[in-house]
Amino acid sequence: MKNILLMCSAGMSTSIMVKNMREAATKINAEVNIKAIPEQSLSQNLVGTDIILLGPQVGFLLEDTRAIAKDIPVRVIDTMDYGTMNGEKILRQTLDILGVK
């Protein structure tokens, strides 16, 4: 089971993305736990996290997030994929980064 953390500013659009990614995970039989958090909660949510995905609206926090996350990979979600809420594509890319086939 891989733990994916999505970080955003307010959370509304990210909750939709989490829903779409969970549906995609069911469709492709991927064992993942996907959670959305506001940027202020990052430090309290690192334990057990395998990867952190930043919504494009908080992409400017990439380097700060990497510094806090230490060895946890951090990526910014592509603006087009985020805007179209393409949960399956984002999930597949994330699993590739994590080496899950």
**For domain 2-97, is the CATH number 1.10.1040.10?**
no
Q: Among this protein's residues, is 8 annotated catalytic?
A: yes
CA distances from 56 to 5, 48, 79 (A): 14, 23, 6
Residue 63: per-residue pLDDT: 97
Catalytic residue, from 4, 6, 8, 21: name it: 8
> Could you tell me how many helices (H) and strands (E) the chain has, helices first?
4, 4
Q: Which residue has the tokens 């549906």?
A: 23
Query: 53-67, pLDDT tens digit by residue?
Result: 999 999 999 999 999
Residue 20: per-residue pLDDT: 97
Residue 12: per-residue pLDDT: 72
What 3-state DSSP class applies to 85?
coil
Query: 15-60, pLDDT tens digit by residue?
Result: 899 999 999 999 999 999 999 999 999 999 999 999 999 999 999 9
What is the full DSSP assignment across 8-22? Answer: ESSSHHHHHHHHHHH
Residue 13: per-residue pLDDT: 78
- Asked whether residue 11 carries a pLDDT value surpassing 70, the answer given is no
CA distances from 64 to 37, 39, 58 (A): 16, 11, 11
Residue 101: per-residue pLDDT: 76
